[in-house]
Amino acid sequence: KEIEENLLSQDIDLAVHSLKDMGIEENNDLTIGAFIKRNDPRDVFISNNFKSLGELKENNTVGSSSRRRELQSKLINSKVSFLNIRGNIDTRIKKLENGEIDAIILAAAGVKSLSFEKKIKTYFSTSELLPAAGQGIIAVQCRKNDQQTKNILNSINDHETKICATAERQMLKSIGGDCDTAVGGFAILEKDKIKLKGQLFSDDGNFFFNHEVYGNKTDAKEVGQKLGKELLKLAGKN
């Protein structure tokens, strides 16, 4: 919000965000001028004493600020307990090094960007932990009326990443979700088609619902809307 206020007051001309952390409701005076080519969308497991999530026992604790990761992880290993930890990646790794937690689950893209790859013990496949909508994508935001900056950003925009991001965020919007909702959404392009997978958990975490939608890549928004509606239909009163 602070960064967006600086954009609106013209103290800055562009803002760089991790797309998965951006709110779904965008300011009418701002726009995403570029979606940078997607980095690794997967989640990773980091621990000093364990090689995988499956090795953890009931007395072990995993640090995460993501309800999605917590509930997805419990489908792999129901014994694990989670501790809600926040802060940047360095802070979280320090908690691990201090022995406050036994493991952490983070987005691969962030870990790689800070050159912490050597600490990664396991990469989760996207079928094991379906990523958050927009995970691994950097979005660059500017003022909607700033045509000069929009032209510059257009030159670094990755069209395929934009298509996938549009579908994923539209799915989130359709279910009324935000960056704290326990929902995964991940799109891939197959020639002129788009495949979008979604996973939605009930508020209590006891139920989960999976669905996927195929469509033309030119209809990314509609594909996202359709998947969101289907997930809500599957969830019913949950």
Q: Which residues contact 83 (CB under 8 A, 6 or more apart)?
A: 61, 62, 63, 64, 100, 101
Task: Report the C-alpha gap between 223 and 167 in whole angstroms.
Answer: 6
Backbone angles phi, psi at 194, to 5 degrees: -125, 135
| Angle formed at CA 157 by CA 212 and CA 220, multiple of 5 degrees | 25
Q: From residue 40, how far is each of 10, 28, 107, 167, 211 by CA, in Å?
A: 33, 30, 8, 18, 22
Name the 3-class secondary structure at 199: strand
Q: What is the CA radius of gyration of the chain?
A: 18
Residue located via tokens 């209590």? 204
Supply the DSSP string of 207-235, one letter for each residue.
-EEEEEEEEEGGGHHHHHHHHHHHHHHHH
Active site residues: 20-21, 68-69, 86, 92, 179
d(CA 12, CA 5): 9
